[in-house]
Chain A
Amino acid sequence: MLVVACIKQVPDTTQVQIDPVTNTLIREGIPFIMNPYDTHALEEALRLKDRYGCRVAVLSMGPPNAEMTLRKALSVGVDRVILLSDRCFGGADTLATSNVLAAAIHKLAQEEEVPLVICGKQTIDGDTAQVGPGIATRLGYTQLTLVDKIVDLDLVAGKIRVSRKLEGRHEIVESPLPSLLTVVREMNRPRYPTVPIRLAAEVAPVELWNNEVLQLDLQSVGLKGSPTWVKKIFSPERDKGEIIGDGIGDPAGTVNLLVEKLLGKDLLEL
C-alpha cells in the first residue's frame, strides 16, 4: 500500500521581489524551499506510514534542480521520491500540471495500491489551490480539500472521515477511498529530520520520470496543454495607513477615535 504526497519547490516568497518593468518574479539568487503547505502533506503521509506501515512516495513536477527539495523529503524518511521533469512539461498551468501528476500516480497505482494522495492546500507562489483537485478529478479519486484532521481511516473497509477547516466552522466529511486530500497548516507539525536519515538521504537516488516514461500526449502537457497563462503580475496598490490618537497617553480617547472611524466606514455595527 502506497501513500503519495505531492510537493512543489517554490521560491522563498519572503525573499521574492517583482520586477516592476517586466512584471515577473526576480528569481536570481532567491533560494528555493519546499512549499510550506506541502510539508504538512508530507508529514501526514509519514504519520500514516508510522501508524499503518504503508510506504510513502513523494512526487514533484519541476525543473531538474527540484531534486534538492525532493532530497529534503528523503531526509525525513520517505521510501521513494520521483521527479517529473521534461522540457515538454515546462510552462504548465494548473491543468497541465495535474495531467502530469495524475499520470505519474496512475503509473504508481499499477504497481501498488494507492488509497490516498495528499497535497498541500495550495502553493505560496501560484496560490491557485487547483492542482490537488485537478489530480483528483483526473484520477477519479474523491477530493477532500482544506483538511485539518483525519478523524478516522479504515483502510480495510476503504473509508475515510476527515475534518475540513472552512471559514468559521469545521465540516466532517466521510468518503470512500481512494481519496485525495489537500491539507492546511493546522493538520500537523512537521517533524525535524534526524541525522542518520539525513546522511542517507544525501546520496539516496531520486528517480527521474520524463515523458518517455509517462507517454503523455504533448498537447496535454506544458505550455501547449495550458489553457491559461500569466498576463501580468503586479503588487496591488495599498492605501496609506495613519496613526491615530495617542495610544499610550490617552488609550480611552484613542479607542473612541477608532470606533468613530470604523463607524464612519460602515465597518462596525452598533
Chain B
Amino acid sequence: MSVNPVLFGSLLAAAFLFFLWNCWQRLALVTLGGGADRFDRPGERFKRMLLFAFGQKRVLARPFGVNHAVIFWAFLILLLANGSFLVEGLFPTFTLERILPAGVYHGLTLLFDLASLLALAAVVVAVARRLFFKPSYLDSAYVKGRSVEGFMILSFIATLMVAFFCLNGVRIALGDGGGAMPVSALFAALLSGNSPAALEGIGIIAWWVHALVLLAFICYLPLSKHMHILTAIPNCFFQDLNPVSLPPREEFIPGKPGKSYGVGRVDDFSWKDLLDGFTCTECGRCQDACPANATGKPLNPRQIVHSIKSNLLANGNLLKAGRPPLVPLVGEEGEGTTTEDAIWSCTTCGACLVQCPVLIEQMPKIIKLRRHRVEMLAAFPEELLSLFENMEQRSNPWGIAPGERTKWTGTLEVKPFQAGVTEYLFYVGCAGAFDSRAKHVTVALATLLDAAGVSWGILGRDELCCGDSVRRLGNEYVFDRMARANVARFKEQGVKKIVTLCPHCFSTLKNDYRQYGLELEVLHHSQLLEQLVAQGRLKPAVQNGQGKLLFHDSCYLGRHNDTYDAPRAVITAATGSAPGEFGRSRENGFCCGAGGGRMWMEEQLGSRINLDRVKEALEQEPDTLCVSCPYCMTMLEDGLKDQGAEQVRVMDIAEIMAEAMVPR
C-alpha cells in the first residue's frame, strides 16, 4: 500500500494551520480576561491535574463516567498510534516496527488494537445513551443531548476505529502486519476472500478514510465543545486550590474609584473564567445538581458558563478592537446573555462546583455578575434594599438594635470574652442572637459548653455580623467594611479560637476572612461537640427520644467545608445510633434554599426549594429532622408547616445533644 505523501502532506499542513489558527483565535480571546493568580503552588497543581484530568476522578464519580474514562484513556493510547500514522503518511518508509524492539512493538500493537475496540464499544454505548436513554440534564436551552455536534464527534471516533481495524486487517491479510492484533485479525479473516489487488484497494480506501476523518477531527476540534480535549487539562491545573471556591476580594480605595466593580461585560471576567467557558463539555451534571434548576427556576449553572463562551465569541472582535460589546452579558434571554432572574436564583450551595469533572467555577461567576448589578448599577431585587441598609446600619439582617444581641442569655450566666482568660470566643451570629427559634439552639450550645467545662465567652452587643449574606449577594463593598471591622475586632480582642453555631458564620470567618489576613482556629459547633464527646467531656445520660431521625447536610458545613462526619458523630453519640440519611446527602446534599442571601428574598419563580427537600424527607416518615444551621432550621420548619407535617420536629444537633444530657 502506498499513498501520495505530497498530497497527504499538503492536506495535513492545511489542517494543522486551520487548527492552530482557530486555537489561537480562541485562546487570544481568553487573554482578554482580567488577572487571576493561578500559578502558585505548581507542585500541588500538577498533582491535582494528574488526579482530575488524567485520573478522571470527578468523571468517574457517576457510573456513566466510566464510558468517558474509557474513551479518554483509549484516546491517550491512540495518540501514539495516530502520531505514527501521520508520520507514515509523510514518510511511507517509516513504521513503528522498524524503530522499536519486537517485544515492545508487539505489546503496543496489542494495546492499540484493544484500546480501539474499547473506544468503539464506548462510542456505541454513548450513542445509545443519547438515543435511547438520554438523561434530561443533557439538554439545555441552547445545547441539546441529541445535537448534530455530539453525534458527529461520536461518529468521527467510530469511523476512525473501524478504519483502523480495516487498515490493519488488510495488512494482516496481505501478510504485512507483524503485530499482535486480535480484533484486526478478525477483520483480516473477514477480508481474506479478496484478491491481493482488491485488498490493496480496500487498504488504500481505509487509509484515506482514516486520514481524512482524523484531519476533519483536528479541524473541527477548536470550533466545538470538544475543545475541552485541549483546555480541560490546563483547566484542572489552574483550578481554585482553596477548599471553597471563593470570589476574589475587591479593593476599595477612598477617593480613587476603580473603572468597574464586579463583572458587567465579558472581559471583566478573569482569564480563568473565560477558559472555563472553552472547557465546558455540556455534560449537564451541574445542571442536574442545581437546586434552583431542579425547582424550575431560570438558573442553569451550565448555561451561565455557556453564555460566557457565546458572549465572548460574539463580542470578541469588538473587544479586541477596544470597542464596546454588542451582545449584553446580562439582559433579556438569549444565547450569550444571562437573565437577572437567573443571577438572583443562586443559593451558592456549591452543588455545581463539586460536580464539575473539569473544575469549572460556576458559582463565583454568578457572584461576580451580582457584584456588578449591586455595586455599579444598584440594580437588585427590591427586598434586598432593607437588608443592605440593616446590615450597614445595625450589622444584622433584621435591623434589630445591637443592644439586643445578648437577650438570648436570659438567666444564664454568660461571661464576656476576655483575652488570655477565655479560650473560645462563642461567635453567636445574627440568627443565634435574634431569631427566636435559633436562640433555643444558642442556649442549648451554651449549656453544653458549660457542661463540658469549656472556657468560653461572647462579644455581646459588640459582636458584628460576619457579612456572609451581603458577600454572596454581591455587595462586596459593604462586606469589605464588615470584614475589616470584624478582623480588627478579633485582633484587638486577642481572639485565637472561635466556635460558631451557624455554618455561614463559620465558613465566612474561616475561609473568606483569610483574604483579609485573618487565620484563626474556627470551629463549627458540630466539630467542637464531636471533640468534646471524643474526649469524654460530654457524656450523654440517655440515648433515645428522637424517634426516626434524618440528618440534613448544610451546604456551607458540608460541601463548602467538607465536614460531613462531625455532625453525624454528635448525633450518634446523643441518640445511640447513626442518623438516617436523605436520598441526596453529603456531597450530593440538597440545599434548603436559604443560602447565597436567598434567605432574605422572596421565592417567586418555580417551586420552593425547601418544599422539595421536605417532601424528600417525608417519604421516609421521619419523627425528627436534624440540622446544623439556623437557615436550614427555618426553611425546613416552614416547609413542614406547608406540608401539614408539623408533627415532625426540626432540631439542631446541639439541641439533640442537650436533650440527651438530661436524665429522664
Some 22 contacts from A to B, beta carbons below 8 A apart, are A12-B393, A12-B401, A14-B399, A14-B401, A15-B403, A31-B393, A31-B394, A189-B382, A192-B378, A193-B378, A194-B375, A194-B378, A195-B375, A195-B477, A196-B261, A197-B257, A199-B252, A199-B254, A199-B255, A202-B255, A203-B254, A203-B255
Interface residue count on the B side (C-beta < 8 Å): 25
Interface bits B251-280 vs A (CB < 8 Å: 1, else 0): 011111110010000000000000000000
**Among candidates B255, B388, B393, residue contacting A200 with C-beta atoms closer than 8 Å:** B255
Residues of A bordering B, CB below 8 Å? 12, 14-15, 31, 33, 189, 191-200, 202-203
Check A196–B258 contact: CB distance below 8 A: yes
Interface bits B352-392 vs A (CB < 8 Å: 1, else 0): 00000000000000000000001111101010010010000
Nearest residue (CB) in A for B476 is: A195
Provide the residues of chain B in CB contact with A203, threshold 8 Å.
Answer: 254-255
Report if A195-B399 is in contact (Cβ < 8 Å); known contacts: A202-B254, A203-B255.
Answer: no
Smallest CB-CB A-B distances: 8 pairs: A203-B255, A196-B257, A202-B254, A15-B401, A192-B378, A195-B375, A199-B257, A195-B477
Smallest beta-carbon distance B499→chain A, Å: 27
Give Cα A200–Cα B400 distance, bound, in whole angstroms: 30
Provide the residues of chain A in CB contact with B382, threshold 8 Å.
Answer: 189
Q: Is there a chain A Cβ closer than 8 Å to B177's Cβ?
A: no
Give Cα A191–Cα B385 distance, bound, in whole angstroms: 9
Check A194–B376 contact: CB distance below 8 A: yes
Report if A189-B477 is in contact (Cβ < 8 Å); known contacts: A195-B252, A199-B255.
Answer: no
Provide the residues of chain B in CB contact with A194, threshold 8 Å.
Answer: 375-378
Provide the residues of chain B in CB contact with A15, threshold 8 Å.
Answer: 394, 401-403
Give Cα A194–Cα B388 distance, bound, in whole angstroms: 12
Give Cα A196–Cα B256 distance, bound, in whole angstroms: 8
Give Cα A196–Cα B257 distance, bound, in whole angstroms: 5
Provide the residues of chain A in CB contact with B401, threshold 8 Å.
Answer: 12, 14-15
Smallest beta-carbon distance B481→chain A, Å: 10
Provide the residues of chain B in CB contact with A193, threshold 8 Å.
Answer: 378
Check B257–A192 contact: CB distance below 8 A: no
B:149-198 near A, CB below 8 Å: none
Nearest residue (CB) in A for B378 is: A192
Report if A199-B393 is in contact (Cβ < 8 Å); known contacts: A15-B402, A189-B385, A194-B377.
Answer: no
Smallest beta-carbon distance A46→chain B, Å: 12
**Among candidates A33, A189, A196, residue contacting B376 with C-beta atoms closer than 8 Å:** A196
B:310-344 near A, CB below 8 Å: none
Q: Is the interface of A mostly helix, strand, loop or mixed?
A: helix
Residues of B bordering A, CB below 8 Å? 252-258, 261, 374-378, 380, 382, 385, 388, 393-394, 399-403, 477
Nearest residue (CB) in A for B254 is: A202
Smallest beta-carbon distance B450→chain A, Å: 29
Nearest residue (CB) in A for B260 is: A196
Give Cα A191–Cα B402 distance, bound, in whole angstroms: 25
Provide the residues of chain A in CB contact with B254, threshold 8 Å.
Answer: 199, 202-203
**Among candidates B385, B394, B400, residue contacting A192 with C-beta atoms closer than 8 Å:** B385
Give Cα A198–Cα B253 distance, bound, in whole angstroms: 10
Provide the residues of chain A in CB contact with B378, threshold 8 Å.
Answer: 191-194
Smallest beta-carbon distance B385→chain A, Å: 6
Give Cα A162–Cα B477 distance, bound, in whole angstroms: 37
Check A33–B393 contact: CB distance below 8 A: yes
Contacts A191-B378, A197-B257 aside, 11 further interface pairs with beta carbons under 8 A come to A12-B393, A15-B394, A31-B394, A189-B382, A189-B385, A192-B385, A194-B377, A199-B252, A199-B253, A200-B255, A202-B255
Give Cα A31–Cα B402 distance, bound, in whole angstroms: 10
Check B376–A195 contact: CB distance below 8 A: yes
Give Cα A33–Cα B257 distance, bound, in whole angstroms: 25
Give Cα A15–Cα B399 distance, bound, in whole angstroms: 10
Provide the residues of chain B in CB contact with A199, threshold 8 Å.
Answer: 252-257
Provide the residues of chain A in CB contact with B399, threshold 8 Å.
Answer: 14
Nearest residue (CB) in B for A17 is: B403
Provide the residues of chain A in CB contact with B400, threshold 8 Å.
Answer: 14
Check A192–B256 contact: CB distance below 8 A: no
Give Cα A141–Cα B382 distance, bound, in whole angstroms: 36
Give Cα A14–Cα B402 distance, bound, in whole angstroms: 10
**Among candidates B257, B393, B394, B402, residue contacting A195 with C-beta atoms closer than 8 Å:** B257
Give Cα A199–Cα B255 distance, bound, in whole angstroms: 5
Nearest residue (CB) in B for A196 is: B257
Smallest beta-carbon distance B300→chain A, Å: 28
Smallest beta-carbon distance A64→chain B, Å: 20
Provide the residues of chain B in CB contact with A189, threshold 8 Å.
Answer: 382, 385
Nearest residue (CB) in B for A34 is: B393
Nearest residue (CB) in A for B379 is: A192
Check A200–B257 contact: CB distance below 8 A: yes
Give Cα A191–Cα B374 distance, bound, in whole angstroms: 11
Nearest residue (CB) in B for A200 is: B257
Smallest beta-carbon distance B476→chain A, Å: 8
Give Cα A151–Cα B506 distance, bound, in whole angstroms: 51
Provide the residues of chain B in CB contact with A192, threshold 8 Å.
Answer: 374, 378, 380, 385, 388
Give Cα A197–Cα B378 distance, bound, in whole angstroms: 11
Smallest beta-carbon distance A30→chain B, Å: 9
Give Cα A184–Cα B638 distance, bound, in whole angstroms: 36
Provide the residues of chain B in CB contact with A195, threshold 8 Å.
Answer: 252, 257, 261, 375-376, 477
Smallest beta-carbon distance A188→chain B, Å: 12
Give Cα A191–Cα B380 distance, bound, in whole angstroms: 11
Give Cα A191–Cα B113 distance, bound, in whole angstroms: 69
Provide the residues of chain A in CB contact with B393, threshold 8 Å.
Answer: 12, 31, 33
Smallest beta-carbon distance B52→chain A, Å: 36
Smallest beta-carbon distance B388→chain A, Å: 6
Smallest beta-carbon distance A12→chain B, Å: 7
Provide the residues of chain B in CB contact with A200, threshold 8 Å.
Answer: 255, 257
Nearest residue (CB) in A for B403 is: A15
Provide the residues of chain A in CB contact with B256, threshold 8 Å.
Answer: 199
Provide the residues of chain B in CB contact with A31, threshold 8 Å.
Answer: 393-394
Provide the residues of chain A in CB contact with B380, threshold 8 Å.
Answer: 192
Provide the residues of chain B in CB contact with A197, threshold 8 Å.
Answer: 257
Nearest residue (CB) in B for A39 is: B389
Smallest beta-carbon distance B340→chain A, Å: 15
Give Cα A265–Cα B382 distance, bound, in whole angstroms: 42
Give Cα A15–Cα B253 distance, bound, in whole angstroms: 31
Nearest residue (CB) in A for B402 is: A15
Give Cα A33–Cα B393 distance, bound, in whole angstroms: 8
Give Cα A31–Cα B403 distance, bound, in whole angstroms: 11
Give Cα A199–Cα B377 distance, bound, in whole angstroms: 15
Provide the residues of chain A in CB contact with B385, threshold 8 Å.
Answer: 189, 192
Check B403–A198 contact: CB distance below 8 A: no
Provide the residues of chain B in CB contact with A202, threshold 8 Å.
Answer: 254-255
